[in-house]
Structure 1
Amino acid sequence: MTKVQLFIPCFIDQLYPETGFNTVKILEKAGCKVMFNTNQTCCGQPAFNSGYWKESRKLAVKFLQDFEENIPIVSPSGSCSGFVINDYPSLFKDDPVLLQRHANVSRNLYELSDFLVNVLQVVDFGACFPHKVTYHDSCSALRSYGIKEEPRELLSHVKGLELVEMNESEVCCGFGGTFSIKNTEISTAMVANKVRNGVESGAEYIVTSEASCAMNIAGYCKKNKVPLKVIHLADILSQF
């Protein structure tokens, strides 16, 4: 049995806890023993993106303390995983001890679909989801972490699911953390375009691997009474 550590991002912890529980179900179905350190907190990405590097560094140091370096760390978020892997070194550039600790930890940090497909090589969980769906490529998951085919590979094995591609699936949904607050009009235009492409695809659901994108897209749909649902990849894979 493969031991894994579960890293749950803030958005899932606070807004979509069921997605966290479903991630555990999936990992256990794949034969993993899931370890969860309840002391874990935010990885520091919001503070970092807002320019509060000192505050972000404190959270980054805590992250390295909360996770063991020799056991895989799995997270249902390419955004947070990509941030830890790619941006922590800039916070530790004057501390060789923390840089080495980061190197040891980050080489064992995986986004969920990457871990399932490329490490465990388990792609079929016996899930059933009889709906037409389209997949939204989160900016950070795609460009920072580097997943694209993995979520689609997993969705292709879900019974009853029809996957259709929407136009501009790789274009940002407009969330971008504080971008949606600081540039509301631009953000709204971007999410409107994303939703329009989703509707035009004929899908019932937009699937994403990022809870923040799900919140942004679902919020727009609810406010504008668009009959398009949004769901996290983990919530589909756990339908067994």
Structure 2
Amino acid sequence: MRIGLFVTCLADLFRPRAAFAAIKLLKQAGCTVEAPRAQVCCGQPAFNSGDAGDARTLARNVIDAFEGFDYVVAPSGSCAGMIRTHYPELFDGDAAQRPRAENLAARTHELTSFLVDVLKFRPKGVRLEASATYHDSCSGLRELGVERQPRALLSAVEGLSLKPLPDAQSCCGFGGTFCVKYPAISNAIVDEKAQAIESTGADLLLAGDLGCLMNMAGKLRRRGSRVRAFHVAEILAGMGCGPAIGEEP
């Protein structure tokens, strides 16, 4: 099975470990994995800002870059959601591009969903003596139905105890460009989220989207919290002993 890894901008620029962890997991599941060098941003920031023209330009590039793969997998619910849900919408009325967008959408999956729902994968031999709480990203949860899949995978990590996060389905306040347009509201939302995270008493904060994780990790750090943030793929791949998000390498 030939997989094209959609690395995502945030993994590429801020947390390559998350992408390498995704590759490791997919290979453990028996896949051949490639990350096309021609890939660029999925176009979500432009799309969410009403710039459909630039979003379409970026989407065409992604469609071209990932043609020929059996599946496209992203360690991000928001990027996968953009491709699966909004690419066909972007090319509505375009007889040439709409079928290609629909084809890519049907082949694209968020990482944990792909591992559980398509590959029926369960990690083996991974151990981490820690407690963790899990945040559900808005896009992954609402656009793709990603909720039980990461928890099912984490339940296979020996020594790891999962603590429920109060109001886990509430937004962290990042929201892509929302945090730039409405910083005061975004800060208030993430402050409530940080309080909820700390209330669990967990050692680790896990999630499947780096935007959420960077936002929450930054707030936790500013509050002087001891909670450390990791992409869920890092824990599942046995890479949870390195620097957390926001920590110096």
TM over 0.5: yes
Mapped partners of 1:4, 1:229: distance in 2? 30
Mapped partners of 1:74, 1:181: distance in 2? 28
Deviation string 1:154-202 (CA, Å, 9 cap, x unpaired) is 0000011000101100000000011111111111111111111111111
Deviation at 1:71, TM superposition (A): 1.1
Mapped partners of 1:129, 1:97: distance in 2? 49
Once the two structures are overlaid, the 10-residue window that deviates more, 108-117 or 125-134, is: 125-134
Q: Does 1:226 align with 2:225?
A: yes
Runs of 4+ in 1 over 3 A off after TM superposition: none
Deviation string 1:133-174 (CA, Å, 9 cap, x unpaired) is 000010111001211000000000001100010110000000
SS at match of 1:34: strand
Mapped partners of 2:84, 2:181: distance in 1? 26
Residue 95 of structure 1 corresponds to which residue in structure 2? 94
Mapped partners of 1:69, 1:165: distance in 2? 40
Equivalent pairs: percent with the same residue?
39
Mapped partners of 1:55, 1:105: distance in 2? 19
Mapped partners of 1:166, 1:91: distance in 2? 35
Mapped partners of 1:70, 1:103: distance in 2? 14
Residue 138 of structure 1 corresponds to which residue in structure 2? 137
Letter in 2 for 1:111: E
Deviation string 1:66-122 (CA, Å, 9 cap, x unpaired) is 102551111101110111111112221121221111111111111111111011101
Residue 117 of structure 2 corresponds to which residue in structure 1? 118
Q: TM-score, normalised by structure 2?
A: 0.93
Give unpaired runs (5+ residues) of structure 2.
Answer: 240-249
SS at match of 2:123: coil
Deviation at 1:129, TM superposition (A): 1.7
Deviation at 1:124, TM superposition (A): 2.1
SS at match of 1:160: strand
Contact 1:26 1:125 survives alignment (8 Å): no
Mapped partners of 2:25, 2:35: distance in 1? 15
Once the two structures are superposed, the pairs formed by residues 165-204 of structure 1 within 5 Å of their partners are 165-204=164-203
Mapped partners of 1:195, 1:126: distance in 2? 31
Residue 29 of structure 1 corresponds to which residue in structure 2? 28
Size of the alignment, in residue pairs?
A: 239
Residue 154 of structure 1 corresponds to which residue in structure 2? 153
Residue 45 of structure 2 corresponds to which residue in structure 1? 46
Letter in 1 for 2:12: D
Contact 2:165 2:197 survives alignment (8 Å): yes
SS at match of 1:129: strand
SS at match of 2:118: helix
Contact 1:69 1:105 survives alignment (8 Å): no
Contact 1:70 1:105 survives alignment (8 Å): no
Deviation at 1:203, TM superposition (A): 0.6
Give unpaired runs (5+ residues) of structure 1.
Answer: none
Contact 2:87 2:102 survives alignment (8 Å): no
What is the alpha-carbon root mean square deviation over aligned residues? 1.1
